[in-house]
Amino acid sequence: MRRFVDDYLAYLLAAASAHVSADFHKQLRPSGLSVPKWRVLATLSDGRPMSIGELARIVLLQQPTVTKLAYRMARVGLVTLASDPADRRRTLVRIAPAGAGAVKPLLRRAKAHERRCLSSYSTVEVAKVKEILKDLLRRSAPQ
């Protein structure tokens, strides 16, 4: 007899995420970066500034948590904070040179980890899985 969770999308997504993430998160420990700091730096790694609200949505944390985290990261030079010229009430976060240096080798490790996780799938299958997940995110995003 099958359990409910064996075919429940939310469980399958959460379980897959937990399994895939756990191994990579172990690789973060020697870098001294926590998972939330890794997520922030990886998200900002393209160099574009981002509001705290947008960053919170992407890194899957509450806005007050990201606000505190961003200020702590700014104090140690991983990111910089500035008022948004278009709206002084918003704070923009940008990766700092030290943050870029810290995250660069981890980005390579993350991509290598992803390749290992997906190595038994064809290139077409990998592209299809990613496209389905991206589409699911678009369709389920709050309006």
What global pTM score does this model have? 0.90
Which pLDDT value is given to residue 1?
84
Tally of structural domains, the chain? 1
pLDDT-based confidence at residue 88 (cuts at 50, 70, 90) = confident
pLDDT-based confidence at residue 102 (cuts at 50, 70, 90) = very high
From first CA to last CA, the distance across the chain in angstroms is: 38
pLDDT-based confidence at residue 27 (cuts at 50, 70, 90) = confident
Which pLDDT value is given to residue 86?
87
Residue pair 75/96 in contact by the 8 Å Cβ criterion: no
pLDDT at 143 over 80: no
CATH code for the domain of 58: 1.10.10.10
- The whole domain housing 132 covers 4-140
Q: Which one-letter DSSP state was computed for residue 99? A: H
CB atoms within 10 A of CB 103: 23
Distance CA 24, CA 116 (A): 11
Distance CA 110, CA 127 (A): 17
